[in-house]
Amino acid sequence: MAELREATYTVAGDYQIHLKEAGSGPAVVFIHGSGPGASGASNFRQNIDAFVSAGYRVILPDMIGYGASSKPEGVDYPLQLFTDTLYDALRQHGVESAHLIGNSLGGGVAIQMTLDHPEFARRLVLMAPGAVAEQASYFTMPGIAKMVSGFGGPDFNLEEQRRLIANLLHPDYADRIPEELVAERFAVARTQPKDVLARMKTPNLGLRLHELDKPIFVMWGLNDEFCPESHARLFLDACPDVRTLTFARTGHWVQVERAAEFNAYAIDFLNADR
């Protein structure tokens, strides 16, 4: 894998946002999703080399509450907090504009950042993006119910971490979870307060999708148990420049379960901007 450089920035609220990067060229920011143990590098490890080889500067931030970034307790975690702290760190890192690639919560952050800073975002690649419906509707999804109930209790261990990762995947892929991924996410999860999930608050950005005038590529797994694949239609109905792709026998992690195809499709889409 490409050598990863690291940096940490102090942002508003005196929080620390950590990021890794590799390669050079146009900036591509990979924004990870939610869940116990999530981090930029662990969520996109199968995508880094392909984008670096294609001539992109790959930036892998850990959002607040995740990875090696600050994990405050006793506070709410609204989407705006994720967005503002990440944007602050990226600008301090010298990023003036970037393609945004976001999965799940990270997709919602990518949308919010584009709405807030349209001059910053270039093209969007969104994999099962969240925050495009009322928050309560997501808690009816079986994957989220399992994730919230299984995190932070006295029985939380490596096997529980493996189960939580398996929930993200179609059963065809679930028996191929690398042990190093389980260990990496477990190490992060042990440092996370329950507030990261229990006090997360997301708006319904589905009502604002028509404001997005950037080229957008939405990818979804048909068997996603976290964000319903039917939400892809929201983008098709609202956005002026969008294309969608659905993968059969695929869960919530298109970039992992269909890594080779995801890399090829996403890189080809970003290359059109060169």
How many angstroms separate the Cα of 187 from the Cα of each of 11, 66, 222, 254? 24, 11, 30, 24
Catalytic residue status for 252: yes
Cβ within 8 Å of residue 1, ≥6 positions away: 45, 48, 49
Cβ within 8 Å of residue 247, ≥6 positions away: 219, 220, 221, 222, 254, 257, 258, 261
Specify the pairing of strand 57-62 against strand 77-78.
Answer: unpaired
Residue 139, classed as helix, strand or coil, is coil
User: Is the alpha carbon torsion for 40, 42, 43, 48 positive or negative?
Assistant: positive
DSSP lists the bridge partners of residue 10 as 16
- Among 32, 170, 231, 252, which one carries the catalytic annotation? 252
Residues that are catalytic: 252
